[in-house]
Chain A
Amino acid sequence: MIRTHSLTKRYGRVLAVDGIDLDVREGDRYGFLGPNGSGKTTTVRMLLGLVFATSGHVELMGHTVPRHVARALPDVGALVEGPAAYPHLSARANLRLLDAAGPAGDRRSRRRRVEEALEEVGLADVGRRPARTFSLGMKQRLGLAAALVRRPRLLVLDEPTNGLDPRGIREVRDLLLRLNAQGTTVFLSSHLLAEVEHLCTRVGVLDGGRLVSQGPLDDLLAPTGLTVVRVGDPAAAAAMLDGVVVRREGDEFLVARTSVDELTRRLVAAGIAVQGAWPQQRTLEEAVLELTGSGSDEVARR
């Protein structure tokens, strides 16, 4: 659905995006991760033809961007860096106006499609109120509705849950899962790791304009080969496991070169109670921090 080839964007002396090769496949729930200022939004804007690449190549649903972007965009729903609406118009009027502005917005079904989109994001009851009276969360929902009006095959969403409360986040996640199950490819750009961890099947991690990792989420979270064990008698365990302990935190040990089975057998044989043992698995947060270093919003690193 989306392929880029050494996509690069340079603003003056700053290299915002540095030769990235994205590969988003049909049916994916793709999470595009990275700290603030890592080039996520610039990339999204290049995918949609808003920003012109300095070099490199973008293919959006088989069409070259920016030259033929107009052929691909009717099948794309997008939310780019926050929602926007005409403040004096109602949610309904905003959606109808936007739908009427471009191609592939069938006039006869417009009313129905707008109602369905509002229904889907939970704004049906406030569709009449002018958008300027909306809260941030409601504006966000309106932006999502605008992306859904034409039943796109690809959703490109930049921070879609920004400003939503926990229930709203849950609703949006369920909505995206439902749409994905119906065949919509979802490209989600976010710095919220939990959001991506809950939703996405594949991830790309951006750092300082470079794509430092891309692949299935499960690969990123693969076991590290270390074993975590919690014991009743830490002092005895420490003596016994001397040499293989990587790290100790209270009564919890991180142990190398030993499987869960073998470790528990040895500890129990030595009369040390085992409260729990499991293979260590990184959280997405740890994986991403490892890939991107500690920095965010740091300019000096470039």
Chain B
Amino acid sequence: MIGVEVRKLFGRPRTWVSILLLCALPTLVAVFLAVSGVGPRPGEGPTFLAAVLGNGALYPAAALGIVLPVFLPVAVAVVAGDAVAGEAAAGTLRYLLVRPVGRTRLLVSKLVSVVLFVLVAVTAVAVSAYVVGTSLLGTAPITSTTTVSGTPLTAEELAVRTALMVAYIGWSMLGVASLSLVLSTLTDSALGAALGGLALLVSSTVLVTLDAADAVRDYLPTRYWLAWVDLFREPILWRDVERGVVVQGVYVGVLLAMAWANFTTRDVTT
């Protein structure tokens, strides 16, 4: 069943178009940077962008910084929101269930295929950004590749840290996926589930910046989203990354339990 779901997701043109679009924006930014040679001043603009001019190897990190706030959550929410609600709206859900595919099994397969989508999307952005970055922005001599803290970084260290970053962002996106998946089991509208998930994320983002919401800030799902920047400090600042992993883990656990509890007990009337 998992194989069937994965085939279904990646056999769809829509999936590849969304991944392509995800890769397109950082590429566009890289082209502008390379042509104009004008980067944002340090401390301004998207994370990292100031540092990548003349150092393409750091561009995957910058690229993920570009897509993380909006594009990546949108893509993930759309795929996860479609998971159950899309089948329900198309009427195929009832035929899968009487096939029979167990409800828990179906939900797990959907989750696995969404996770796979997140990994493929994040990896595709990182890889395409590396290719674009190194070819357009040039590779600086290894010694001048530095951390945010200004200390030098070897190529291996950079690779390891980029991999850690991909994993961390993937984990954050799993939170988004879980949220949309819950909504997907509650409604028969894939669009509703995706937009509902995004609305909650936007609310969270707003609250994070609000001083008056200080009391709850540390428990908001998007609070530690940008903590992966700390992976590029010297030494790595683990505190926020660890908290982010834990907070996100709690959200994922609770939301998936909700999705399961709801889906296995609800009437399928579409």
List residues of chain A with CB under 8 Å of any chain B CB: 45, 48-52, 69-70, 73-74, 76, 78, 80-89, 97-98, 100-103, 146
Contacts and interface: CB of A to CB of B under 8 A. Distances in A.
Interface stretch (B21-29, B96-104, B224-232): B96-104
B243 interface: no
Interface in B1-30: 1, 3-4, 7-8, 11-13
A83 to B, nearest CB: 8
Contact of B92 (A45, A51, A85): A85
Contacts of B92: 84-86
Contact of A50 (B8, B11, B90, B267): B267
A8 B89 CA distance: 26
Interface string B226-270: 000000000000000000000000000000000000000101110
Contact of B100 (A70, A81, A86, A87): A70
Contact of B267 (A52, A84, A98): A52
A101 B96 contact: yes
A270 to B, nearest CB: 64
Contacts of B8: 86, 97
A50 B94 contact: yes
A234 B94 CA distance: 60
B91 interface: yes
Interface in B56-84: none
B32 interface: no
A101 B4 contact: yes
A299 to B, nearest CB: 17
A88 B13 contact: yes
Contacts of B98: 48-50, 73, 76, 78, 80
A88 B12 CA distance: 8
Nearest to B106: A101
B93 to A, nearest CB: 8
Given A51-B268, A52-B265, A70-B100, 5 more contacts: A49-B97, A50-B267, A89-B11, A98-B96, A101-B1
A73 B102 CA distance: 11
B129 to A, nearest CB: 30
Contacts of A102: 1, 96, 99-101
B95 to A, nearest CB: 6
Given A69-B100, A88-B12, A97 B268 contact: no
Nearest to B92: A84
Contacts of B90: 84, 86-87
Contacts of A73: 98-100
Q: Point out which of B94, B99, B268 has the most chain A C-beta atoms below 10 A from its C-beta.
A: B99
10 contacts: A45-B94, A45-B267, A51-B268, A52-B267, A80-B95, A82-B91, A86-B92, A100-B4, A102-B99, A102-B101
Given A84-B95, A97-B8, A103 B100 contact: yes
A86 B11 CA distance: 11
B101 A80 contact: no
Nearest to A149: B99
B99 A51 contact: no
A178 B166 CA distance: 59
A86 B12 CA distance: 10
B100 A74 contact: yes
A97 B99 CA distance: 11
A82 B269 CA distance: 12
Contacts of B267: 45, 50-52
Given A51-B267, A51-B268, A98 B94 contact: no
A86 to B, nearest CB: 6
B111 to A, nearest CB: 16
B4 A45 contact: no
A89 B13 CA distance: 11
Given A97-B7, A97-B8, A101-B1, A146 B95 contact: yes
Contacts of A101: 1, 4, 96, 99, 101
Contacts of A89: 11
Contacts of A85: 92
B71 to A, nearest CB: 24
Contacts of A83: 91
Contacts of B265: 52
Nearest to B89: A84
A76 B99 CA distance: 8
The 8 closest A-B pairs by CB, nearest first: A84-B91, A102-B99, A73-B100, A51-B267, A50-B268, A84-B92, A101-B4, A48-B98
Given A84-B92, A102-B1, A50 B97 contact: yes
A132 to B, nearest CB: 11
Interface in B89-135: 90-92, 94-102
A76 B100 CA distance: 9
A101 B97 CA distance: 10
Nearest to A50: B268
A45 B267 CA distance: 9
A203 B108 CA distance: 41
A98 B99 contact: yes
Contacts of B100: 49, 69-70, 73-74, 102-103
Contacts of B3: 100
A128 B4 CA distance: 19
